A and B are shown apart, each in its own frame.
Chain A
Amino acid sequence: KAGVTQTPRYLIKTRGQQVTLSCSPISGHRSVSWYQQTPGQGLQFLFEYFSETQRNKGNFPGRFSGRQFSNSRSEMNVSTLELGDSALYLCASSLGSQENNYGYTFGSGTRLTVV
């Protein structure tokens, strides 16, 4: 079966711009979670969507937002980009149980560089 697909793979944006990243989960998976990974902070949880509703949210400013569509595909948006937003953004899909013992499948990520 197809894995988790993230697009685009690489992105360069200028400070102040906004960006939209896309994630297509594994077929049948209803939960999509987003993470930001930087060398200094490691992997940090942004938010999780389940059945088009945001179920959990991490400690990121309101400039970071997301949504999920009826086909479970998800997008995240970052507005008013800052240099510190440069990171690898990863999405992960799962079946969706709150206490997930089945593991998450990650995409290859979108490398965002803000200049």
Chain B
Amino acid sequence: TQLLEQSPQFLSIQEGENLTVYCNSSSVFSSLQWYRQEPGEGPVLLVTVVTGGEVKKLKRLTFQFGDARKDSSLHITAAQPGDTGLYLCAGPYKLIFGTGTRLQVFP
């Protein structure tokens, strides 16, 4: 069974700070997806990373796929209250979800 572990589990920061969220597995994935979920809503796809070592940027969010395709990271620069939510990484097959990182950004 492929498992995805995310760290940290919770993150509470002030507006303007930078942060990094990690997604790790012992298995190799052909791709990984990152989602953000707000309370009472379904997850929304942010990005898909496919190639080992790939870096993708989405405004202040930077996503990286590990060279061995076993891990990924999400870096947020100058976090804003609107970034608050549950961040989930997911594998492509049967959409195995990670354990999630709950981010709270205070103004």
Contact = CB atoms under 8 A, between A and B. Distances in A.
Interface of A: 4, 33, 35, 42-45, 48, 56, 58, 88, 90, 92, 98-109, 111
A99 B88 contact: no
B33 A48 contact: no
Contacts of A99: 30-31, 92-93
A102 B48 contact: yes
Contacts of A90: 42-43
Contacts of A43: 43, 88, 97, 100
Contact of A108 (B41, B88, B96, B99): B41
A-B pairs, 6 with minimum CB distance: A106-B42, A103-B45, A43-B97, A101-B31, A90-B42, A100-B92
- Of the candidates A48, A102, A106, A108, the one having the most CB atoms from chain B within 10 angstroms of its own CB is A106
B33 A103 contact: yes
Interface residues of B, number: 20
B30 to A, nearest CB: 6
Contacts of B40: 88, 108-109, 111
5 contacts: A4-B42, A42-B100, A43-B88, A45-B94, A102-B48
Given A106-B43, A108-B42, A56 B94 contact: yes
B44 interface: yes
